[in-house]
Chains A and B, each alone.
Chain A
Amino acid sequence: MENLIKVENESLIRVVNLEKSFFDGDSELKVLRGVDLEVDKSEILAIMGASGAGKSTLLHLIGTLDRPTSGTIYYEDEDITTYSERELTQFRNTSVGFVFQFHQLLPEFNALENVVMGKLISNRKSGYTDGRQLTRNEMYDRAETLLGSVGLSERLTHFPSQLSGGERQRVAIARALMNEPKVILADEPTGNIDDITSEVVFDILLRVNEELNQTIIIVTHDSRLSDQTNRTVNLVEGKISY
């Protein structure tokens, strides 16, 4: 029966009654108060909400960067909240790609090295080469291709400090794609760059979604962006309001 449901709606991520509280001494701050959310495969979903509504917290929980206070998160019907630290680390490496507001590129490494880093950490089998491990050259080739596809083939050996804000964010997108993740989580990806550059970055995200059937969750408070996504949910006072 469960199998049937899975096939029917092709759900990738299922968040069930997710709660997250932060504790500061004795005082408890409830950020998420029972979030239920389903994300389909190949979908591009926008999570909107006022600042402090818990958008980023939700994204971090989905991205396994933090553990929920209660509730469960299923990836393809596998409960990842029960994962051990080691399993979570591996899961982040293979299944999740992050794009942050402040690009979070490593300043000591050039664009190509930044993109290839995730694969260097753990050269696990992936779909890209029919399930075999990549050689060093193949890794760099793939990183180069990805950077090319976000329009940065002329910027391969530039360091983050030598790139513009939009270019850095494009490197970050290429990096998120490197390990063929199940989902890309973008936390205010255009929050720190001007409108025109924002559009370029956002177009790339849309294209990635379309061409690669890549599932993407975007946290944003920019309604012009959310209008272009498949679906938008609002996070209000720690709950999803449809």
Chain B
Amino acid sequence: MKFEWFVASRYLLSQRKQSFISIISVISIVGVSLGVATVILVIAVLDGVEHGLRDRFLANEAHVAVSKIDRGFFNNYEDRIEAIKKVDGVVAASPVVYTQSAIFQKGSQSIQDVIYIKGIDPEVEDTVTGFSKFVEGSVDFQDQKIIDRASFINDESVTGGIVLGARLAKNLTLHQGDILRLVVKLEEDNHSPGAFLPRIRNFVVIGFYESELAVYDSRMAFIHVDTAQKIYQQEGNINVILVRLEDPELAPTIGDELIEVSSFNTIDMPITTTWLDTHAPLFAALELEKIATVIIEALIILVAAFNIASTLIMTVMEKTRDVGTLRTLGASRGNIMLIFMIQGCVIGMLGTLLGTALGLGVCKLLSTNVIRPSPLIAYALVVLLIIFQICVTLKFILSKTKLRNIVMLLFWILGIAFILYCLVQPISLKELGLSEIYQMNQLPIKINWFFVGFINLLSFSICWLATIYPAFQASNMRPIEALQYE
């Protein structure tokens, strides 16, 4: 093995007189690096998006919602909640009146939007969805000070407080203390048959709900569950029970049990909706996107591997006479095969490792919590690099080592990476104006180490496979033909 390494490394490192990694090996290495780096980066972003969404969903939503199949109301819900709480794996459960309402502002003559209204008990709700964590302002729906003040200023009766999704409030330019009108019910007009009159209730904006999930922030408002029961004339009843589980992944299995315990009689027919059901299309789309990405990126690495193969085929052709000479000196076919496989594998390995480093480095740069060293460090580093280069050029250091150029190359790559690290601002989706689309403000990065390992293995295997044909070709040459090759 020593002899093969000796020859292979010489072929890799020197192109006749020039004692640098031969340019063709560098190109192959860069090809593999870029493939590996992009796949790591892209998957980190996709994983980041998935996990970001997932975390936000889980923070904002109950894991399971129990409702009636006809969306009707449950009576004696307290008993049902108690029954649900006794199920293994259930952490908490809360009663909710979930409806839709048309809304309009004071002074407006027409409906401005139709939104979801969630009637909740804030204290119980906190145990299930962490509601108040996301609210800016008050969560006391019966905050008399605000209600009285709004009622006095506007000279109108006010039913209670309402917490509005932050984006919704922004779109409607509503501030704390403003009045919002909800169409809570349509009633038949006794005076003209077939016509309906809206029953309208006034609410005063007491707070804003900001979860960074556009679905909620722009389409949701919260009122107290008691108020909701009153305005929808469902006193003592609720239509949704929200449940929090110890392990959200168990939602589908525990859901079935919840149906059983919450069904008090045959006409109840409760159903469950898990957070996974709610977002199934989104997660499926993300998963598909990931698979497609991996395939495309694997193709990039494959192209890079073809690059290695053609590099090796060229090397084999160029070294045909050398192969003949080595064979006359008693090198076996196995020896020859190894020489060329080592070359390809070293290229593949270097490319893979550099690509991994590059990919992880850029991930690090893009991730939000980068501690930014002062740019001064970057400038100092530039100076240091130049001094280092001068010392090497003038042969003060490293002059005697054969690996001088590799050390130099590594030093520069690491140096530049660190300089970038010092200088580059973490990319902000908000700044790019993409936060609406991705429903989050920062480009999320999540590195899946298992996947990084997998892609390393894949890349190296592809490169290794690429070496087999050229190496076999070299080893298969008859010594006499190789010697006479022109």
Which residues of A are at the interface with B, using a C-beta cutoff of 8 A? 60, 63, 65-66, 85-86, 89-94, 96, 98, 100, 104-109, 117-118, 120-122, 159, 161, 175, 179
Contacts and interface: CB of A to CB of B under 8 A. Distances in A.
A121 B324 contact: no
A82 B160 CA distance: 105
Interface residues of B, number: 26
A108 B6 CA distance: 11
Contact of A63 (B17, B328, B331): B328
Contacts of B335: 121
Contacts of B413: none
Contact of A118 (B2, B321, B330): B330
Interface in B434-486: 478-480, 483
B330 A66 contact: no
A65 B329 contact: no
Contact of B11 (A91, A104, A108, A159): A108
A98 B328 contact: yes
Interface in B300-336: 321-322, 324-333, 335
Given A65-B479, A104-B321, A94 B330 contact: yes
Contacts of B330: 89-94, 118, 121-122, 179
| Shortest 9 CB-CB contacts between residues of A and residues of B | A93-B330, A118-B329, A120-B3, A89-B332, A92-B330, A104-B325, A65-B480, A108-B10, A66-B480
B10 A109 contact: yes
8 contacts: A92-B329, A93-B330, A98-B328, A104-B328, A104-B483, A121-B329, A121-B335, A175-B329
B328 A107 contact: no
Main secondary structure of the interface of B (DSSP, over half): helix
B14 interface: yes
Contacts of A159: 17
Contacts of B6: 120
B17 A161 contact: yes
Contacts of A63: 328
B486 to A, nearest CB: 10
Which of B11, B14, B328, B331 counts the most A-chain CB atoms under 10 A from its CB?
Answer: B328
Contacts of B478: 66
Contacts of A65: 327-328, 479-480, 483
A104 B2 contact: no
A100 B483 contact: yes
A66 B484 CA distance: 13
B118 to A, nearest CB: 76
Contacts of B333: 85, 89
Contacts of A179: 330
A66 B482 CA distance: 12
Contacts of B327: 65, 89, 92
Nearest to A172: B325
B191 interface: no
B328 A161 contact: no
Contacts of B14: 108
A133 to B, nearest CB: 13
Contacts of B329: 92-93, 98, 117-118, 121, 175
Which of A60, A106, A121, A122 counts the most B-chain CB atoms under 10 A from its CB?
Answer: A121
B395 interface: no
A113 to B, nearest CB: 8
Given A89-B332, A98-B328, 9 more contacts: A63-B328, A65-B328, A89-B327, A89-B331, A93-B331, A104-B324, A107-B322, A108-B10, A159-B17
A155 B479 CA distance: 29
B461 to A, nearest CB: 29
Interface in B1-37: 2-3, 6-7, 10-11, 14, 16-17
Contact of B322 (A85, A106, A118): A106
A86 B330 CA distance: 10
